[in-house]
Amino acid sequence: MNIRFYNAKILTTNEDKSFSIVEGELWVKGDTICYIGDGSDLDKVYGEGENGVILWDREVDVRGNLLMPGFKNAHTHSGMTFLRSLADDLPLQEWLFEKVFPKEGQLLEEDLYWLTALANLEYLTSGITTQFDMYFFQYEVARACVDMGFRVVQTSGLNNFGGTVEELEEKYLKLNDYHALSSYILGFHAEYTTSRDLMEGVAGLVQKYKAPLYMHNSETKLETEECRQRYGLSPTQLFDSLGMYDYGGGGFHCVWFDEKDMEIYKKRGLSAVTNPGSNSKLASGIAPVDEFVKRGINVAIGTDGPASNNCLDMFKEMFLVSSLTKLKNMDAAVMDANEVLYMATTGGAKAMGLDCCDRLAVGKKADLIMIDLMQPNMQPVINLTKNLVYSGSKQNVKLTMINGQILYEDGNFKVDLDIPEIYQKANAIVARMK
């Protein structure tokens, strides 16, 4: 479809991580942004149709509201929707080994289609246009996302309890060739769940394909200390010694980092994906986000899964990144809102290798959201980026577009799946389990 947005405030991203507001119009041709400007040079884009009239499939009066890049959820386990509120208020190791793993063992392959679809609906309401997912039955995850028009990047949760290096390689090849909305990055679950032999096999794939790699990294103090006991190295230092970071990638959580870990991330050009909601709820700790930023390390933000976080809300995560970093340092000036907004948009896209939709610009894929500024929490309009991080919420998301398709608008989903059926299937999966 060809869609014209007009009477808009348009948030554009600058190379120095700052933002600018363009007053005017944004045009989408098919899946791509083809114009951003004040509307004075429109004929340069499409030319004139019959009788000098430019034809559109739809023209949207934005009414002074804000168009901005969609949020990039840079770490999640979407299929964990079936575990939401099932095993709360427990420490990570007990939560994972005594509650989560036994339930996950009862999942059927087809379950992941519906559980992922449910998460995608929540992402759309939060203005999230891409998810970086690590979970089971990844062909079903990809199918659910493509059927809904949702952009997905997946990585492997390979560990001692399931999966092989051969299967990881197969998924890497097939899911990167599955659909334009689907891509795949090499990965494994974590050091504490994965043998050295298995990690060395994964490292072999990194070298074979010259590819980036992701995993859970230094999420808890216990995990990090036990890795040092086993190998005499932190998880980051171990991964680097195995050649896992030779071609980029990064880690999820990155809470318990030391100076050498940060040096490796800087040297290798890695991304640190912070998950403040999950880390707070599981009392895992507060990531040194300010130190990453000082060193020029790319930082992205993820919700983690709906079992450890419960809600998939990027507005909450942005607020927590800023406020927890300030609290940890006892310095209210240590983390600026603009930096956090960059993490939630462009930083996430960079972590996932998605330079095609990292910002709003001509030639980029049309992954964008409309923010309702005509609500009390966004007034007065003094500083829009500060409002988004400190007072914005899901209630402000009026529209979510992915790849040029409007999938959510004014509280209504516009996806090719039956919404009540998604809810029914998710509840039936939970009811089936013992």
The predicted-structure confidence for 155-180, as pLDDT tens digits, reads as follows: 999 999 999 999 999 999 999 999 99
Residue 303 lies in a domain: yes
Mean pLDDT of all residues in 42-52: 55
Q: Per-residue pLDDT for 45 more than 70?
A: no
Distance CA 100, CA 309 (A): 13
Give the structural domain span for 243. Answer: 71-354
Helix axes 111-125, 419-432, angle to 10 degrees: 130
Q: Say yes or no: 13 and 109 in one domain.
A: no
pTM for this one? 0.96
CB–CB of 34/1 below 8 Å? no
Q: Which of 7-21, 81-95, 136-150, 197-211 has the lowest mean pLDDT?
A: 81-95
Mean pLDDT of all residues in 192-221: 98
Q: Which pLDDT score, from 0 to 100, does residue 241 have?
A: 98
Distance CA 68, CA 396 (A): 12
Q: Say yes or no: 204 and 107 in one domain.
A: yes
Q: Say yes or no: 199 and 316 in one domain.
A: yes
> What is the pairing mode between strands 19-29 and 2-13?
antiparallel
Q: Say yes or no: 295 and 337 in one domain.
A: yes
Q: Per-residue pLDDT for 371 more than 90?
A: yes
CA 31 to chain CA mean position, Å: 20
Compute the mean pLDDT over every residue in the chain, rounded to the nearest whole number: 95
Neighbours of 329 (CB within 10 A): 16
Q: Say yes or no: 78 and 178 in one domain.
A: yes
> What is the pairing mode between strands 271-274 and 298-301?
parallel
Q: How far apart are the first and last CA of the chain?
A: 47
Q: What does the pLDDT look like over 287-313, one tens digit per residue? A: 999 999 999 999 999 999 999 899 999
> What is the pairing mode between strands 368-371 and 298-301?
unpaired
DSSP 37-105: ESSTTGGGTS---GGG----SEEEE-TT-EEEEPEEEEEE-GGGGGGTTTS-S--HHHIIIIIIHHHHT
Q: Which of 97-106, 230-239, 396-405 has the lowest mean pLDDT?
A: 97-106
Instruction: List Cβ neighbours of 203 (8 Å cut-off, separation of 6 or more).
Output: 213, 242, 243, 244
Q: Say yes or no: 366 and 282 in one domain.
A: no
Distance CA 313, CA 309 (A): 9
CB–CB of 359/26 below 8 Å? no
Q: Say yes or no: 176 and 308 in one domain.
A: yes
Q: Per-residue pLDDT for 328 more than 80?
A: yes
Q: Which pLDDT score, from 0 to 100, does residue 91 have?
A: 76
Q: Say yes or no: 292 and 379 in one domain.
A: no
Q: DSSP 3-state assignment of 151?
A: strand
Overall domain count for the chain: 2
> How buried is residue 218: exposed, middle or buried, by Cβ count under 10 Å (0-12/13-18/19+)?
buried
Q: Which pLDDT score, from 0 to 100, does residue 46 have?
A: 57
Starting at the edge strand found earlier in the chain, the sheet holding 182-190 runs 71-76, 128-134, 151-155, 182-190, 213-217, 249-253, 271-274, 298-301
Q: What does the pLDDT look like over 180-197, one tens digit per residue? A: 999 999 999 999 999 999
Q: Which pLDDT score, from 0 to 100, does residue 51 have?
A: 47
Locus of tokens 């209504």: 412
Q: Say yes or no: 134 and 246 in one domain.
A: yes
Q: What does the pLDDT look like over 338-367, one tens digit per residue? A: 999 999 999 999 999 999 999 999 999 999
Residue 430 lies in a domain: no
Q: Say yes or no: 33 and 75 in one domain.
A: no
Q: Which pLDDT score, from 0 to 100, does residue 52 have?
A: 46
Q: What would the two tokens of residue 285 be?
A: 């700790």
Domain CATH number, residue 342: 3.20.20.140
Distance CA 292, CA 325 (A): 11
Q: Which of 22-31, 94-103, 232-241, 406-415 has the lowest mean pLDDT?
A: 94-103
